[in-house]
Amino acid sequence: MQRTAFSGSSIGLTEPFLNLLLPTWRKERRDGQGLPVQAKTTIRQWPVCARRRRPPRPQTFQTLPQSLPRRSVPFLLAGLLLALISYNLLQPSLALPSLGSVRDAAQFHHSFSVCSGSARINCVIDGDTIYLDGEKIRIADINTPEISRPACHRERTLANQAQIRLVQLLNAGPAELRRTETRDRDVYGRKLRSIYRNGRSLGDTLIDEGLAHRWRGYKQSWCN
């Protein structure tokens, strides 16, 4: 069977035009004796367009390192702590107040009642929570039975007694509101204060009467 050579001129195409269409084109030619000769492969090398690069920006300042060495972190923390301590020593007014001091005491003498309704100015919620001048105060040194959600009948009875007794103690005469905790407010936004009269905490009176527990960071059961 005779092999027919492919010719671009037979279809009206020239070799350069075929090189544009085909990246690889194998051509057959014949020598003087009529035998086909394999020509070398012609590969179209497409030019690669160079990316257009922006000119570098002028460095107007010295850039900081991306990350600090790990060995320098403890020294930085120690320096910040030392600076904070020195600042508090130089500014005594910004230091924490002395706990339970008379200097931070606020004198008050109001008529208290059991809280009811939405208008709460000077009233008692339970044995360890009051409203004073519209501000909600949590007595910090004691914990009394829950009056809203008692765990047992005994706790409900003691909660009502603690509420009435605190109203009586507050109406007995002038008292002092002192800050005795490092925190100013608790997680519920209530101010943490202790109430004193004649140098004695009203919370201690409730403890002696069996209507409160000393606050130790957790609630003790009233149902035992």
* Overall pTM surpassing 0.75 (yes/no): no
Residue in the structure block whose two tokens are 């230091």: 95
pLDDT at 121 over 60: yes
CATH hierarchy code of domain 102-214 = 2.40.50.90
Mean pLDDT throughout 105-112?
Answer: 88
Model pLDDT for residues 7-37, shown as the tens digit of each residue = 444 545 555 555 555 544 444 555 555 555 5
Q: What angle do CA 27, 32, 34 make, to 5 degrees?
A: 65
pLDDT of residue 60: 56
Contact of 177 with 161, CB cutoff 8 Å: no
Mean pLDDT of 118-135: 93
Helical H runs in the chain?
15-21, 73-90, 153-170, 202-208
Query: By the 8 A CB rule, do 174 and 109 touch?
Result: yes
Domain boundaries, the chain: 8-43, 102-214
Nearest-angstrom CA–CA distance, 8 and 19: 11
The first and second tokens of residue 90, run together, are 């130089």
Q: pLDDT band for position 102 (50/70/90)?
A: very low
The residue written with tokens 């009394």 in the block is: 144
Spatial CA neighbour of 212 closest among 152, 140, 151: 140
pLDDT category, 178, cuts 50, 70, 90? very high
Which residue type does 36 have? Answer: P
pLDDT of residue 35: 55
Q: Is 52 helix (H, G, I), strand (E, B) or coil?
A: coil
Residue 214 or 117, more confident:
214
Burial class (CB in 10 A: 0-12, 13-18, 19+), 169: middle
Residue 129 β-bridge partners? 126, 138
